[in-house]
Amino acid sequence: MQKMQISIKPTAIVKEAPIGYLLRLIIRNGLTRASALVNDAQLNRIIKGIDSKVPEIDLLLPKGFNLSSVQSPLFNLSLQLTPKVCPECIRESAYYRNIWQNPFESYCRIHKTDLISHCSHCGSLLKFEPALLQARCTNPACHRPLKAESSEHLHLSHEQISDVLLAAHLFENSGPIKSSKYPRIPDFQHALILGYSLLTDIGIAKNWARDSILSISGNYPKNIANVDIERLLGQLKTNWPTVETLKNETKQFHIRCLSSVSEVWLSANEACRLLGVTIEGLVKLASVSLIRAQTNARLSIKSIVDISPLFTLFSTNQMSPAMEPLSSYQPLLWRNDVEIQDVVIAVHQRKLVCGYHPGKSLLDSIYCEKESLQSFAKEHFNSMNERMVDIDKAIRITGASREEILAFRKRGMARIPKWAGFNSDKLVDFNDVLNIRKLKNQLTLEF
């Protein structure tokens, strides 16, 4: 970079974005393209409000700023990396306002017009180029004046914009939400219109919900078929006209295709909730290849996993008339500390015969005969060699209440395990659990 290129150094304007200052610097020094002064990497750093690593420029740039306290599930930092502008503001004073980089800001409060992200003449997306500060299209083949637009129904609060951007993302992308560091919303206007229509138009909401449900094989339980809808409903910050419609669609019976088991990618957190397992249970399923991870890294709540191998296992299982869903055996499972991954792995290893019919959840979809499940549960419980369990598990195994467990503790019968470490007061020695269980059985028989 030659020093003569920045011989003129304009004064920064109050509330001017660093990228806006760079564009003015380029214009004042007689340059026509951003690439004439910085490379792509340097430009991206300046857009983010961080040092470009070019001292001559960094000394001139306005400092970073905090744009919004609203949290979005789509990104971590509220600093939009793609431009949107009010043409009228630029024509009055040619500089790029830092508020325009706020991803939750959709309109100009002065002129009551939309912040535009594309040219209405040629449809090209705007770029951070000097033409932007002339209120012109940044596509050199067009370069026509940018036209102010107004969609009063899209003049929304920051929380509403967060909802709209999420809805637009889910409308166009199936699969788990992957949070990025910065928001990249190339066509902000399009995203607003798309997301707003999903949240306010009953017909569009119904069609999207049904398409989402029907895109998932009928081999999956209902709660998994509803996952995209639940992703949206679970993250909304404000109320919208189509919320009840979307909720109703999750309750409807939709006939889905029972062909091959398609891949379904979920965050590990979603997989745990939908399958009814803990992260430890998910790790066990992954260890026998019934869950497929996106990477070889150790599974965590933030991992992305494919649950289709588990349902491929069950897709050909037939039921006998004597079989009942696992959900009807809940007390038996709790009492013997049998979790759903234990049943699934036993089926995989051919230690237990189960039928399968898609229900509301996995627990409602796996069917067993009572005698065989009892035999498996007893064997499973007798094979346990845990040194300690948490109080919630002790309650399930013994049938005692929390108050009774704590009362047993006061009597020295529900001891805190030695060297239990952090949260030790929430743990119980496993041998004490067995003794309490025997005592509860005796009391029940005597009664």
432: nearest Cα among 366, 388, 369, 380 = 388
Neighbouring residues of 401: CB distance < 8 A, sequence distance ≥ 6: 395
Kindly tell me if the per-residue pLDDT of 89 is higher than 60: yes
- Cα distance from N-terminal residue to C-terminal residue, the chain: 91
Per-residue pLDDT, 301: 85
Per-residue pLDDT, 419: 54
Which residue reads 């798309």 in tokens?
A: 194
Per-residue pLDDT, 446: 41
In tens, the pLDDT along 339-353 reads 999 999 999 999 999
Q: Check: CB of residue 245 under 8 Å from CB of residue 202.
A: yes
Cα 4 from Cα 304, distance rounded (Å)? 51
HEC profile of 385-426: CCCEEEHHHHHHHHCCCHHHHHHHHHCCCCCCCCCCCCCHHH
Q: Specify which of 88-92, 151-155, 430-434 reaches the highest per-range mean pLDDT.
A: 88-92
Least confident of 59-63, 69-73, 438-442: 438-442
Number of other residues whose CB lies within 10 A of the CB of residue 25: 22
In tens, the pLDDT along 263-291 reads 999 999 999 999 999 999 999 999 999 99
Per-residue pLDDT, 68: 87
- CB-based burial, 411-440: b 16+ in 10 Å, e otherwise: eebbeebeebeeeeeebbbbebbeebbeeb
State percent of the chain over pLDDT 70. 94
**The two structure tokens encoding residue 297:** 């890294």
Q: Check: CB of residue 219 under 8 Å from CB of residue 315.
A: yes
Per-residue pLDDT, 408: 83
Per-residue pLDDT, 111: 94
Per-residue pLDDT, 328: 96
Q: For the chain, how many helices (H) and strands (E)?
A: 20, 10
**The two structure tokens encoding residue 439:** 């005592």
| pLDDT band at 2; cut points 50, 70, 90 | very low
Please report the DSSP string for 76-126 in residue order.
SS---SS--B-HHHHHHS-S-BGGGG-TT--EETTTTEEPB-B-TTT-PBP
Least confident of 182-191, 300-309, 434-443: 434-443
Structure-model confidence comparison of residues 384 and 226, the more confident one: 226
| pLDDT band at 1; cut points 50, 70, 90 | very low
Q: Give the global pTM.
A: 0.85
178: nearest Cα among 294, 271, 302, 282 = 302
Per-residue pLDDT, 445: 42
Neighbouring residues of 257: CB distance < 8 A, sequence distance ≥ 6: 214, 217, 218
Give the containing element (helix H, strand E) for 203. helix 202-214
**The two structure tokens encoding residue 257:** 């295709």
Cα 164 from Cα 161, distance rounded (Å)? 5
In tens, the pLDDT along 300-345 reads 888 999 999 999 999 888 889 999 999 999 999 988 889 999 999 9
Q: What is the mean pLDDT of residues 2-10?
A: 67
Kindly tell me if the per-residue pLDDT of 421 is higher than 60: no
Q: Letter for the amino acid at 389?
A: V
Kindly tell me if the per-residue pLDDT of 3 is higher than 70: no
Please report the DSSP string for 254-284 in residue order.
-----SS----EEEHHHHHHHHT--HHHHHH
Neighbouring residues of 263: CB distance < 8 A, sequence distance ≥ 6: 306, 308
In tens, the pLDDT along 233-257 reads 999 999 999 999 999 999 998 888 8
Neighbouring residues of 69: CB distance < 8 A, sequence distance ≥ 6: none
| pLDDT band at 420; cut points 50, 70, 90 | low
Q: Check: CB of residue 115 under 8 Å from CB of residue 84.
A: yes
State percent of the chain over pLDDT 90. 67
Per-residue pLDDT, 298: 87
| pLDDT band at 146; cut points 50, 70, 90 | very high
Per-residue pLDDT, 439: 81
Q: What is the mean pLDDT of residues 214-223?
A: 94
Kindly tell me if the per-residue pLDDT of 96 is higher than 90: yes
**The two structure tokens encoding residue 363:** 């627990």
What's the chain's average pLDDT?
90
| pLDDT band at 386; cut points 50, 70, 90 | low
Q: Check: CB of residue 304 under 8 Å from CB of residue 268.
A: yes
